[in-house]
Amino acid sequence: MTVDNQTQAALLARVAEGDKQALAALYKALEKPVFRFIRSRLNDPFEASDILHDVFMEVWRSASRFEGRSKVQTWIFGIAYRKVIDAHRKRGRTDLVGETPDSVDDSPDAEACLTSSQEAEHVRHCLGTLKDDHRAAISMAFYDDMTYAEIAEVAGVPEGTIKTRVFHAKKLLLRCLQGLVDRRAPA
């Protein structure tokens, strides 16, 4: 269910007035992308579910403080981002795991499946070599389809910093992926 920003803003305004149905509608609209965002940083579906619940409880408590300076979805992703950081701190970790989920290939072609799996593993490996801030920026840009301005707001840094992080992350990913291809190529 895709709900535009204007509808999300209207729902959030109703949530601020104590409308539980509006919260349910907002939850239904954003549950999957927010869960995916959280899970990609924790790699634990159970903990991600708990944090998703915490995020929407915070939305319920804080809806009246939304100032409308950003999209509702960006504001909620910001809450999720801070909750994930809190979870890492509670565990004594400050790194953000950028594990990307495997995608299922329904193709009957076994060779295509194997190649796809190897490529996904290459990307996961290379993402794992990035610094936390680079991995988070590239993940939000390409897996969560967020704009640089939205990522900057979520991360609490200037947009130019996000552009730089994504630029450097792409270069590092390309170098890593090319290195893996070169090592695996027959001589």
Give the chain's domains with CATH numbers.
Answer: 1-97 (1.10.1740.10), 100-187 (1.10.10.10)
* Burial degree of 7 (CB within 10 A; 0-12, 13-18, 19+): middle
- pTM of structure: 0.60
Q: What is the pLDDT of residue 31?
A: 92
Q: What is the pLDDT of residue 113?
A: 53
Residues near 47 by Cβ (< 8 Å), separated by ≥ 6?
87
Q: What is the pLDDT of residue 53?
A: 94
**Per-residue tens of pLDDT for the chain, all 187 residues:** 567 888 999 999 999 999 999 999 999 999 998 998 888 888 788 999 999 999 999 999 999 999 888 889 999 999 999 898 888 888 774 444 444 444 444 444 555 555 566 677 777 788 888 888 888 888 888 877 788 988 898 888 999 999 999 999 889 888 888 876 666 656 5
Nearest to 161 by CA among 136, 125, 143: 136
Q: What is the pLDDT of residue 67?
A: 87
Helices and strands (H and E) in the chain: how many: 8, 0
